[in-house]
Amino acid sequence: MGEARIWHGGDLDEARRLCPHAPEPWIDLSTGINPIAYPMPALPASSFERLPSPADHRDLEAAAAEAYGATDPAQVVAAPGTQILISLLPSLWPRSRVAVLGPTYAEHARAWRGAGHDVDELTALEAAREAGIVVLVNPNNPDGRTLERPALIEEADRLRRRGGWLVVDEAFADFDPGETLVPVLPENAIVLRSFGKTYGLAGIRLGFAVASAGMTERLRTTMGPWAVSGPAIDIARQALRDRAWRQAAGRARAEDAARLDRLLAPLADGAPRGTSLYRLMESRRAPELFVHLAHRGIWVRHFQHDPRLLRFGLPGNEVAWERLEQALDAFLAM
């Protein structure tokens, strides 16, 4: 038997296959990507015509270091998407006992297990005492659980004493940065940051690792030269330095998340939770609601590990908000 498929958001082909008669255009709320993208700058022809120079890469990493609060640009390495980093990291260690704090983004456990490590998927950090490597997502996907910075520093120190490492995926931390580990980065910690989710430009495939200079150099060597495309570099270094846009977008998405909570609350068995880019609701009627929305051309994220959960991304315009509200009202009236 082959490996079980891991379901991700954003697969509208699957949505159309399941509900071929749903109204178009589909509203894709199945991802946690900012629906209001950073305005694309005009790109020079040279972005496409030549290979990026080492100086281009260094400037991108310096922009990321500034945006994320790293103390030294040498701590930052750019990659063609955070997913590549998730897949590469397990190859840097010999077989180890790895604890993945979950339920969370399933690619973490799969990557470490696929590289031959012994993986325990645990629900509490305190249960990871036998692990040499601990992997967690902060804030967590999909429930938004946040671990405070002192607890992360303590865990990194515990692991350091036994020669271990802490890997923290901060893909959704840009708009909720309170507990980021980057400014106080322990020497045995690796922090992953996603560009595409925050800036609504997931298609350019860009992510970063923040770690000790020795670890970032190992990652650069593993990926090889020209890991990031010229257009991605030119777009991202402008966006990362646009602090005013990021602050305004963060405020706007927090307002959108609160608006979405108000719509979901009458259907949920408890208060919705998550981050400012997605909201997770729990309901005994979740499977029924998922089908109801799909037949109305609204695609949300459901979960194999718990059918009571649905994750909603943020609508990107008033038409989408109105369609969602009407569909939820219709479900409430059933």
Name, in order, each residue with C-beta under 8 angstroms of 94's C-beta and a sequence gap of 6 or more.
Answer: none
Distance CA 280, CA 273 (A): 5
| Full DSSP string of 263-329 | HHGGG-SS--EEETTEEEEE-TTHHHHHHHHHTTTEE-EE-SS-TTEEEEE--SSHHHHHHHHHHHH
pLDDT at 5 (0 to 100): 52
Phi/psi for 101 (5° steps) reads -80, 120
> Which pLDDT tens digit goes with each residue over 195-251?
999 999 999 999 999 999 999 999 999 999 999 999 999 999 999 999 999 999 999
pLDDT at 1 (0 to 100): 38
Positions in the chain whose pLDDT score sits under 50: 1-2
pLDDT at 289 (0 to 100): 98
Distance CA 22, CA 27 (A): 11
Name, in order, each residue with C-beta under 8 angstroms of 188's C-beta and a sequence gap of 6 or more.
Answer: 156, 159, 160, 164, 165, 166, 212
Give the CA distances from residue 318 to residues 21, 288, 322, 323, in Å, rounded to whole numbers and listed in that order: 23, 25, 6, 9
Helix H or strand E encompassing 253: helix 243-264
Write down all domains in the chain, each with its CATH number in brackets: 12-37+244-332 (3.90.1150.10), 46-241 (3.40.640.10)
